[in-house]
A and B are shown apart, each in its own frame.
Chain A
Amino acid sequence: MLKDQGLMSWKELAPGMYILEPGNSVKFKTGDWKSHKPVLDKEKCIKCGQCYLMCPEPAYEENEEGYFICNLNYCKGCGICAAICPKGAITMVLEEA
């Protein structure tokens, strides 16, 4: 028996493989294959939100304290946030296997 790799049965798919539920992509982790992840140094962060604005995914969310935190399930490790940060508060570190 071939190893079961399917996400769901073919019988459950909508005709034409249409996605009938808009925005359902949030259910899927789309960034768990990255090589580098951003790490925030809160000491240096001025909460300017540029990482949040520039993230192409967008994986950043603002927390209660006003910091912008990257959701690593959606971050693809592009490093734009680290490059754009005016205070150098974000560093890209190698994702451990």
Chain B
Amino acid sequence: MGKRVAKEVSIAVADAVAQCKVDVVSAYPITPQTHIVEHLADLVNNGELDAEYIPVESEHAAMSACIGAAATGARTFTSTAAQGLLFMYEMLPIASAFRLPIVMVIANRAISAPISIWNDHGDVMTMRDLGWIQTFAENGQEAVDLVYHAYRVAEKAMLPVAVNLDGFIVTHVVEPVELLDQELVDKYIPPLKMKHKLDPKKPITIGAIGVPEIYTEARKAQDEAFKASYKVVVKAWQEFEKISGRRYQPIETYKMEDAEVALVIMGSLAETAMNTVDALREKGKKVGLIRIRLWRPFPTQDFIKALGKVKAITVFDRALSHGATGGPVGIEVRSALYQSNKRPKVLNLIGALGGRDVTTEDFEELFDRTFSFIKAKPRFAYEIFGAKE
């Protein structure tokens, strides 16, 4: 087993990326992702990582460089946040449509305007439909483990993977983190061998035109591969458990066995919510927590199973979909439940935007509201939580 050392999570994530022996790192620094790529630049400069570091002039170029490099069979990494991710946008669906195993860490940050460097999930929700596998980390250890997992999945499923870490709250915290021994990493992530790649000795065309007679078929093929990646994701976690002893699943539950109400959350806020669950359980209240770790492809069956016997849930979204019927997670959850016989009441709140604190007391209030929602008539599609009137 590896040694547990206190490290800033960004540094630990960069070390994990280096352990995966990436060939190309291409990134443009943006808060709160900066420390990750700075540390990788250091490692390349010191000769500790045998990779090309491409300091590009924009995120659009960062993703373009990764696409070009990955198409030749290189293992690639990039990282970004907020407006940087949006600047990358044009290239994101190309990476997934070309079935390139690019790994990107997104240090989640609210999008402008107004300018905010603080954390919410507004940035990554803009790319939820682009065919990238997406996972959300809760803490430093999980962030590191999801990086290893991302390379395993990306290269087995031949799809790009985005690992989401809450900006500052996860990225800049110093935590005890255990990195895997190098030999285990080498076993878990063997050298990348692509069946088809850009090679002058065996020429192929990537990025041809798709006339109306073939575009639909191309997207269907991509969609089938994307849906099939669910199994790859789960299997990679099972294999990871064997080498590390740490168990990960698409949906994480906390005290859900006999819960009457539950909160549904993604990312680091679940740690606070767990404390609230503990406190309320001591008072005899049957509350639980569901955390979505795998956001795309959405694990519908796992989610429905996780609900147990709850009568009402509150989906706590950290992104706004203006004028929609809910936040992105709320919409997803309601849509999944509509196809199911198990259909608890769903309260959808949008909060913790742009780094706004949500405390254990707030979660207590949320659980109270969820209890009273069991019998209430739903009136709102969604509500922004904590906005001062």
Interface set of A (CB-CB < 8 Å, partner B): 5-11, 13-20, 22
Q: Within 8 Å CB of A10, what residues of B?
A: 216-218, 220-221, 224
What would 29 A/B residue contacts be, using CB atoms closer than 8 Å? A5-B213, A6-B213, A6-B214, A7-B211, A7-B213, A7-B214, A8-B217, A9-B217, A10-B220, A13-B221, A15-B99, A15-B158, A15-B221, A16-B99, A16-B100, A16-B158, A16-B196, A16-B206, A17-B208, A17-B210, A17-B214, A17-B218, A17-B221, A18-B98, A18-B204, A18-B205, A19-B204, A19-B206, A20-B204
What's the minimum C-beta distance from B131 to chain A, rounded to whole angstroms? 11
What's the minimum C-beta distance from B209 to chain A, rounded to whole angstroms? 10
Rounded to whole angstroms, the CA-CA distance of A20 and B203 in the bound complex is 7
Q: Is B103 an interface residue (CB 8 A)?
A: no
What's the minimum C-beta distance from A1 to chain B, rounded to whole angstroms? 15
Rounded to whole angstroms, the CA-CA distance of A17 and B303 in the bound complex is 32
The closest CB in chain A to the CB of B225 belongs to A15
Rounded to whole angstroms, the CA-CA distance of A7 and B216 in the bound complex is 10
The 9 A-B residue pairs with the shortest CB-CB distance, nearest first, are A19-B205, A16-B99, A10-B217, A10-B220, A7-B213, A10-B221, A16-B98, A17-B218, A22-B203
Q: Within 8 Å CB of A11, what residues of B?
A: 221
Interface set of B (CB-CB < 8 Å, partner A): 97-100, 158, 195-196, 203-206, 208, 210-214, 216-218, 220-221, 224-225
Rounded to whole angstroms, the CA-CA distance of A22 and B196 in the bound complex is 13
Rounded to whole angstroms, the CA-CA distance of A9 and B221 in the bound complex is 9
A-B contact count (CB 8 A): 58
Contact partner of B196 (CB less than 8 A), chosen from A5, A6, A8, A15, is A15
Rounded to whole angstroms, the CA-CA distance of A95 and B210 in the bound complex is 26
What's the minimum C-beta distance from B273 to chain A, rounded to whole angstroms? 40
B217-A13 in contact (CB<8A): yes
Rounded to whole angstroms, the CA-CA distance of A20 and B202 in the bound complex is 9
Q: Within 8 Å CB of A5, what residues of B?
A: 212-213
What's the minimum C-beta distance from A20 to chain B, rounded to whole angstroms? 5
B205-A7 in contact (CB<8A): no
What's the minimum C-beta distance from B340 to chain A, rounded to whole angstroms? 28
What's the minimum C-beta distance from A88 to chain B, rounded to whole angstroms? 35
Q: Within 8 Å CB of A19, what residues of B?
A: 204-206, 208
| Extra 17 A-B pairs, beta carbons < 8 Å, given A7-B214, A10-B218 | A6-B213, A6-B214, A6-B217, A7-B211, A9-B217, A10-B224, A13-B214, A15-B158, A16-B99, A16-B100, A16-B196, A18-B98, A18-B205, A19-B204, A19-B205, A19-B208, A22-B203
A17-B97 in contact (CB<8A): yes
Rounded to whole angstroms, the CA-CA distance of A16 and B225 in the bound complex is 10
Rounded to whole angstroms, the CA-CA distance of A18 and B208 in the bound complex is 8
Rounded to whole angstroms, the CA-CA distance of A22 and B98 in the bound complex is 17
A18-B206 in contact (CB<8A): yes
Rounded to whole angstroms, the CA-CA distance of A10 and B213 in the bound complex is 11
Rounded to whole angstroms, the CA-CA distance of A31 and B16 in the bound complex is 53
Rounded to whole angstroms, the CA-CA distance of A17 and B218 in the bound complex is 6
The closest CB in chain B to the CB of A17 belongs to B218
Q: Within 8 Å CB of B206, what residues of A?
A: 16, 18-19
Q: Within 8 Å CB of B224, what residues of A?
A: 10
The closest CB in chain A to the CB of B198 belongs to A18
Rounded to whole angstroms, the CA-CA distance of A14 and B210 in the bound complex is 13
Rounded to whole angstroms, the CA-CA distance of A9 and B195 in the bound complex is 21
